[in-house]
Structure 1
Amino acid sequence: MRLLLIALLLSSFCIAQTNEYSISFENAVHHEASIAITFPELKQKTVTVRMSRSSPGRYAIHEFAKNVFDFKATNSKGEVLEATRPDPYSWEIKNHDGEINVSYTLFANRADGTYSQIDESHAHLNMPATFMFMEGEEHRPIKIDFNVRRDLNWKVASQLKKVSQTTFTAPDLQYFFDSPTEVSDYQLREFMVDGQNIRFALHSDDSAQDFDTYWKKVKAIVLAQKEVFGELPAYDFGEYTFLACYAPHVSGDGMEHRNSTILTDRESLAAGGMEGNIGTVSHEFFHSWNVERIRPADLEPFDFTAANMSGSLWFAEGFTSYYTNLILARTGVITSEDYVKGLNRTFNYVWNSPARDYFNPIEMSYQAPFVDAATSVDPVNRNNTFISYYSYGSVLGLALDLSLRQQGLNLDDYFKAVWNQFGKKEVSYSIQDLENVLSGYAGDAFAKAFFSQYIYDSQMPDYQNLLSNAGLTITQDKNKPYLGLRVNASESGLRIASPTSKGSPAYAAKLNKGDLITAVDGAAITTVDAYNALVKKLTVGQTIAVSYKRFDSDATTNLTVSADPTYTITTDEKADKKARKLKKYWLQEK
């Protein structure tokens, strides 16, 4: 099937008319690019060109058209064509002569996985944020010329098919828009794995020596993840490219694509990125299997005109998040002890959230268009109604892996089975398919229990047993007092800094964000240190009076102290031989 797909893609260049794009950066100092597109041999008398409203790997709406200006359309003779605006994202053009030439200026000044940034250090291009397309002609091949700034020693890095140093092609719009491009004076490292070239283009001020140190970690991650699936994907054109921008003027992010990934962070390698950025490398490279080829059916095909919703993000993003730090531990990039410590934050965020009363992991995934780099101005109630599918899926991945290991199985081999049945063949999957694969691997009863309890419902696995069998302990301090408040100091008292969570003492006492606490049991409290000292002296079950101001009115409420719900996961130094052995094979401890 894959060979047939490639043959069809190659033949499309001979059969279909090619749309030609070019981009130049003369005014990069003011974050502008000049873009020109030729759409030849058009059959429809009225056509629409538009900017995308979404981007591969993101699920929310992004209004990229807002950064476009100086739009012009001409025919093959250079005569100006009238363009009308049926909506904020589109330009409708009539009375052409079979060819339309479009030009416009793009303002771009945010470098991350969604947007583009142009300045005299680089052109960081996310394609949907940069280029228009013509409705109805998405199937056409695309050729693009990058008119690089030679005075700045710029060169081009991309997963697009290379024709020359500055000319590249894509078989269709879906591939073109899934192909971010870095144009800069970047450093490059490469190594071959089973006949395929793994490349890392680094745009930063880091030394070659620091890059070499980082590159060793990246190579270890690539090889360790290959072991999970048993093989690398067959990357198009035999290459995979990391596109990294580590600079103070970019925004921290990571975004997977079919044969490449965007990596951005404000920290250079020398300024903390050596440790701080490597987790994003691990996460995004795992996506070249899980989500790019092991692909949810409800994301196919990706719609560039609307928000994209999937119920499988707990698996596509969450299980990928589980492997992010696990791979770092297996490669020695972090210690196994640091890995265990790192479980705590995510674990507590998920299992102490009241949101499980309302949504299961599938329904949490459905909320991606509202949370994945989405913007809104009205307050939301997410601390009570939402758990990130990244985190939720991660702790479920932990539970599934440890549950399988109790039977002499493991999550790696389950992923191999999913890969062989779906990802390797590039056949998209449903949630039922995931359950069916687990059923074939671990048995019908096991698969049905896991999915019915933890995917279609929001029950909590028996981590006490699972972690104990893996040489870890999980505890809660039943005597530690807890109020459920996060406060900031102000001149008038302590301001509640975030919405209170359902089930907490503060929520039951009807306290909420913005309330100004003036006294506790009659004692004035004005500093965070004084508040923390007071909380330590309280006892579980004790009732205290809290005086506060809301809308400039004085009020008092009674608050009953509860036990701190925080879980603590640690290594069990007294674990038996069997548990230590399981832990060793799980984390691949040397």
Structure 2
Amino acid sequence: MKIIFSAVLLLAASWISAQTNSYGISFENAVHHEAVITASFPQIQQDTLFLRMSRTSPGRYALHEFAKNVYGFKAMDGQGKSLNVFRPNPYEWAVSGHNGTVNISYILFANRGDGTYSQIDETHAHLNIPATFMYAPILGDRKIEVNFDLREDLSWKVASQLQHVSGTTYSAPNLYYFMDSPTELSNFMLRSFELDGQTIELALHHNGTEEEADAYFESVKKIVLAEKEVYGELPKFDYGRYTFLACYLPNASGDGMEHRNSTILTSTRSLANGGMKGNLGTVSHEFFHAWNVERIRPKSLEPFNFEEANMSGELWFAEGFTSYYTNLILCRAGLLSPKAYVEGLTGTFNYVWNSPGRQFFNPIEMSYQAPFVDAATSVDPVNRGNTFISYYSYGSALGLALDLALRQEGLNLDDYMKLVWEKHGKNEQNYIIQDLHELLNQYAGKVFGDHFFNSYIHASKMPDYLSLFNTAGVVLNQAEDLAFFGSRVSVSEKGGSILRNPTIGSPAYKAGLAKDDLMLSIGGIPIAEEQKFNEFISQFELGSPLEVRYIRFEQERTTSIVLEPSPSYSIKLMEDAEEQPTAEMLAFRKAWLKTE
């Protein structure tokens, strides 16, 4: 009986082993940004195996068409016989005539180091998995092993959330986890610390010193601790480890991308050249996603679709509330002063509340636009300056309003986020917008929750920031003495070129001016190259008609414009606006920013 049982176990082990898809990747031609990739798919039951490259990448919502960088594709059976290959569409390879095993090889060109694409050169192999590895959708439940053939001459090592098997071989339990596991191969510096029985590590690939790495990691630790305080605990990371994959190199492209147990951080800014502080915002934003997005996850993004664009109406919360916490966490961690934090709110505030886009879309509908704007590309002109507000910024502005409004009631956004974590993140139960609404009602009361969602999420009203800021000893003012034109203008020796579609309702819009118009003079005064445009228009009286001479389609024309007061706001601490905050205001601010 024992012998029979052992035989069964051996057979089962053999079957499980056969059900593992295996990949290999090598970099002999890294100088020309190429990798050679091999893969083996055993125990194929279908007559035709369909292989494809992903069209999207986790955390991105637009299409990216990674198949465009694949060439030299070959397919063979288990005995080395060439197989029939048919291309049913641009993203797929249909392989037939096999003997139960399909082995493939291809060349990948990769030269963009960011959170979406891959980059291969003699500094590193920066691998986003969807941009790198072909896969078989029907085999998505199989275990995957990948062997990285490291460039020992370049002292490369492996950093990844993948599970280490042995040597340079790593594994994923299935395709979904594999696709979500970016990997950095380079001569990086590794730093780590233990927190609540888990390892938080930084794999830092940069041209700087060990001392700079030490100093930077101290800031990373402060961010981790401040974000843990928001939720009260760390997520349970798979394999007990979370990895920051940081590439701060001149050949990288600035970006950040969250993943389940890791994040990509890329920047051209070195630690010695401003990155010691300037790169921390991305660290703060992406690590916050370990809770909000990776585990507090919208139902609309689960499972993530690698074959189509991914649309979600919850990005104002998933990305926007994360953006609200980005700089707030830096302030709480002592990495950004309260003055710098408060004044830093100004740009986002003006962008959101001065945009005409609110008359077209609410935050949910702005979130739906992600496939068109999230690193998406097109050649036809668009009017997004008038119709779109980034869900990052819109959600950030609303997160600020909700936090301050809750604090006026003796509550706070941190505890609301804890409640969302307990209900939807800790047990990884996907949510819809109605769930967020009901939880706010539960936390702050039905009247409060209904007002917030009905006024600002399902509609596009503006919260009473004047009152909200005042409670924290913060002053909100409009610069009504400044002239407002309504578009960016570049001044040269030829005149003033309008660079963008004028803002709907602005003086330039009402005057019938348009993008690419070349203005020669305003109010009879020529536009001179030596003067900035904002300084030029400041000489005119607001509210009075002014003649504009301009050229459009090589013909000179005239129109009349009436300059208006600027709608832009300034945001300052009361004490910096020569006002004195009360003790109650200072206590409110201290509780909000968690500063001394």
- Asked whether the two chains share a fold, i.e. TM above 0.5, the reply is yes
Q: Are residue 588 (structure 1) and residue 590 (structure 2) matched?
A: no
Q: Are residue 447 (structure 1) and residue 453 (structure 2) matched?
A: no
Structure 2 residue corresponding to 1:378, chosen from 380, 385, 402: 380
Shift of 1:480: 2.2
Pick which of 282-291 and 516-525 moved more.
516-525
Amino acid at match of 1:191: F
Amino acid at match of 2:469: L
Q: Distance in 2 between matches of 1:537 and 1:208?
A: 54
2:302 corresponding residue in structure 1: 300
Could you report, residue by residue, the CA deviation over 1:247-298 in whole angstroms, capped at 9, with x for unpaired residues?
0011000000000000000011011111111100000000000000000000
Q: Are residue 164 (structure 1) and residue 153 (structure 2) matched?
A: no
Could you report, residue by residue, the CA deviation over 1:463-521 in whole angstroms, capped at 9, with x for unpaired residues?
00000011101011223221223211233211111211001100110111100001112
Q: Distance in 1 between matches of 2:15 and 2:484?
A: 65
Structure 1 residues 24 and 510: CA distance shift in structure 2, 3 A: same
Structure 1 residues 395 and 528: CA distance shift in structure 2, 3 A: farther
Pick which of 542-551 and 284-293 moved more.
542-551
Residue correspondence of structure 1 range 501-520 to structure 2 within 5 A: 501-520=503-522
Structure 2 residue corresponding to 1:313, chosen from 302, 312, 315: 315
2:333 corresponding residue in structure 1: 331
Structure 1 residues 185 and 13: CA distance shift in structure 2, 3 A: farther
Q: Distance in 1 between matches of 2:247 and 2:380?
A: 32
| Structure 2 SS opposite 1:136 | helix
2:231 corresponding residue in structure 1: 229
Runs of 4+ in 1 over 3 A off after TM superposition: 11-16, 530-534
2:7 corresponding residue in structure 1: none
Shift of 1:13: 9.8
Q: Normalised by the size of structure 2, how large is the TM-score?
A: 0.96
| Structure 2 SS opposite 1:417 | helix
Shift of 1:14: 4.3
Structure 1 residue corresponding to 2:155, chosen from 150, 153, 156: 153
Q: Distance in 2 between matches of 1:15 and 1:464?
A: 64
CA RMSD of aligned residues (A): 1.3
8 Å CA contact 1:474, 1:569 repeated in 2:
yes
| Structure 1 SS opposite 2:449 | helix
1:396 corresponding residue in structure 2: 398
For this pair of structures, how many residues does the alignment match? Answer: 580
1:3 corresponding residue in structure 2: none
Q: Distance in 2 between matches of 1:186 and 1:564?
A: 49
Q: Normalised by the size of structure 1, how large is the TM-score?
A: 0.97
Q: Distance in 1 between matches of 2:431 and 2:269?
A: 37
1:72 corresponding residue in structure 2: 74
Residue correspondence of structure 1 range 186-585 to structure 2 within 5 A: 186-527=188-529, 529=531, 531-573=533-575, 574-585=580-591
Structure 1 residues 442 and 13: CA distance shift in structure 2, 3 A: farther
Residue correspondence of structure 1 range 136-147 to structure 2 within 5 A: 136-147=138-149
8 Å CA contact 2:18, 2:43 repeated in 1:
no
Q: Distance in 1 between matches of 2:520 and 2:89?
A: 52
Residue correspondence of structure 1 range 83-102 to structure 2 within 5 A: 83-102=85-104
| Structure 2 SS opposite 1:163 | strand
Q: Percent identity?
A: 58
2:123 corresponding residue in structure 1: 121
8 Å CA contact 1:246, 1:267 repeated in 2:
yes
Amino acid at match of 1:203: H
8 Å CA contact 2:493, 2:529 repeated in 1:
no
Amino acid at match of 2:589: K
Q: Distance in 2 between matches of 1:342 and 1:413?
A: 24
2:110 corresponding residue in structure 1: 108
Q: Distance in 2 between matches of 1:453 and 1:533?
A: 38
8 Å CA contact 2:491, 2:527 repeated in 1:
no
| Structure 1 SS opposite 2:139 | coil
Q: Distance in 2 between matches of 1:480 and 1:27?
A: 57
Shift of 1:111: 0.3
Amino acid at match of 2:89: D
8 Å CA contact 2:491, 2:532 repeated in 1:
no
8 Å CA contact 1:73, 1:103 repeated in 2:
yes
Amino acid at match of 1:229: Y
8 Å CA contact 1:49, 1:132 repeated in 2:
yes
Unaligned ranges ≥5, structure 2: 1-12
